[in-house]
Amino acid sequence: MTNPIPFRWEGDCFTPMPGFGKRCDELFVVGQAYRLVEQEDRSAASHRHYFACINTAWENLPERLSADFPTPDHLRRFALIRAGYADSRTLVASSKAEAVRLAAFVKPMDSYAVVVVTDATVTVWTARSQSAKAMGKKDFQESKDAVLDVIAGLIGTDPATLSAQAGQAA
């Protein structure tokens, strides 16, 4: 199942909203138990504002950082990683030289990943997805705030100023 099916609570049971009965018949077996999880809709305005903030910050990156972030998405994913919204994998090599070769091999697999070599160890961080499927409203808002804090620090401003500038540009 890829898209949530909306239901209405009737006081003693959940009933699919009009137009979703056929889909329920295709997906579910009568008498079988299923887990129902509430999914709060994320605000489209908050989503647009978030990406406007990132674009504004990217357009105003200090020259010393512009080569590190060729696109706004590189900046966003770096900030997600820095804010802790990331998955990491650690690879142990037989030597520091081997770790450097391994890092050079791994890095092109994901241009957004942060790859760090420490002695004979390679650590690869990849940003977590912020898609509606991957993050609900609460998690998205928390990650949004954390990312904007990281980005504001990179460009030498505070998150409120960044937010206000993006609001003017949007």
- Where are any strands of DSSP class E within 33-134? 86-92, 114-118, 121-127
Cα angle for residues 8, 28, 20 (degrees, 5° grid): 45
pLDDT value of residue 168: 60
81-108 mean pLDDT = 97
More confident of the two residues 11 and 86: 86
Residue pLDDT, tens place only, 130-141: 988 888 888 999
Query: Which residue would you say has higher pLDDT here, 40 or 8?
Result: 8
Burial class (CB in 10 A: 0-12, 13-18, 19+), 76: buried
pLDDT category at 1 given cuts 50, 70, 90 is: very low
Q: Using the CB atoms, write b or e for 86-115: b if 16+ within 10 Å.
A: beeeebebeeeeebeebbeeeeeeeeebbb
- For residues 106 and 83, give the distance between their C-alpha atoms in angstroms, rounded to a whole number: 22
Count of Cβ atoms closer than 10 Å to residue 49 Cβ: 17
- How high is the pLDDT of residue 169? 53
More confident residue, 39 or 114: 114
Query: What band does 2 get if pLDDT is binned at 50, 70 and 90?
Result: low
pLDDT of 170 over the 60 cut: no
pLDDT digits over 66-81, tens only? 899 999 999 999 999 9
Strand pairing report for 7-9 and 14-16 = antiparallel
pLDDT at 137: 86
170, two tokens: 């949007």
Residue type, 26: E
* pLDDT at residue 41 is higher than 80: no
